């Protein structure tokens, strides 16, 4: 409801609880499980990945640490690419909401399916201009804001987006939009990996956790 996102998940939950209208009772508050935890999930998995990268640096032969890196990276990147789909950032996630609920028009599923129908050639610049995050929280929040800014555009091209079972059309505006989102997803994902890897070289694990092979 216009408030800035706090730094952590617990602070965010408290902010949601504080949105209750005293005239309407506690049920009028924003439910954080309805609003979602997407940026916090990305940040938390990035932190886990950073620690796993540190374990891998300390003991590259430790297969358990390597597998942990792969699993944590996969989960983080799933959420990261969710964030670059604009409808994951809005109350209008499946059609324009009236009040607090989206009417479930099917636009969300069509958007989710769009990239798979877009002809992306091998020379597509997936990671062109990958930024180096200096502050992971600010970086994730900035990407969230950039994706959210595209919500209006999604509804402008709504009629062009093919149904889930249909092939994509040849409209150049739709293709441009899809390729822009694909590039954003690739850059964001690559930047998170680079950021976690670089951050993993800035600290040492405590001796009792220096290697997963020792546990």
pLDDT in tens, the chain (215 residues): 567 999 999 999 999 988 877 777 767 788 888 889 999 999 999 999 999 999 999 999 999 999 999 999 999 999 999 999 999 999 999 999 987 688 999 999 999 999 888 887 777 766 567 888 999 999 999 999 999 999 999 999 999 999 998 987 778 899 889 999 999 999 999 999 999 999 999 999 988 775 544 44
* Helices within 1-119 (DSSP H only): 9-17, 32-35, 38-58, 63-83, 107-114
Alpha carbon distance 146, 86 (integer Å): 9
SS3 93: strand
The pLDDT, as a whole number, for residue 213 is 46
Q: Is the separation of the CB atoms in 204 and 55 below 8 Å?
A: no
Largest CA distance in the chain: 61
Alpha carbon distance 103, 36 (integer Å): 17
30 φ/ψ sector (left φ>0, alpha ψ -120 to 50, else beta): beta
Alpha carbon distance 39, 142 (integer Å): 10
Q: Record the pTM.
A: 0.89
The pLDDT, as a whole number, for residue 215 is 47
The pLDDT, as a whole number, for residue 1 is 56
């Amino acid at each position: 409801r216009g408030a800035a996102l706090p730094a952590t998940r617990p602070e965010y939950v408290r902010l949601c609880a504080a949105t209750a209208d005293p005239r309407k009772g506690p049920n009028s508050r924003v439910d954080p499980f309805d609003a979602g935890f997407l940026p916090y999930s990305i940040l938390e998995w990035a932190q886990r990945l950073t620690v796993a990268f540190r374990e891998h640096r300390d003991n590259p032969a430790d297969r358990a640490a390597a597998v942990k890196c792969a699993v944590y990276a996969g989960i983080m990147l799933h959420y990261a690419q969710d964030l670059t789909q604009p409808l994951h950032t809005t109350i209008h996630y499946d059609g324009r909401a009236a009040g607090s609920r989206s009417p479930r028009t099917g636009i969300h599923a069509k958007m989710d399916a769009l990239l798979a129908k877009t002809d992306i050639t091998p020379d597509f610049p997936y990671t062109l201009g990958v930024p180096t995050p200096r502050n992971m929280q600010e970086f994730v929040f900035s990407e969230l804001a950039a994706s959210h800014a595209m919500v209006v555009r999604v509804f402008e091209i709504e009629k062009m987006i093919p149904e889930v079972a249909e092939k994509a059309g040849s409209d150049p505006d739709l293709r441009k939009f899809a390729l822009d989102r694909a590039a954003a997803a690739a850059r964001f994902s690559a930047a998170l990996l680079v950021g976690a890897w670089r951050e993993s070289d800035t600290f040492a694990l405590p001796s009792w956790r220096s290697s997963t092979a020792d546990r």
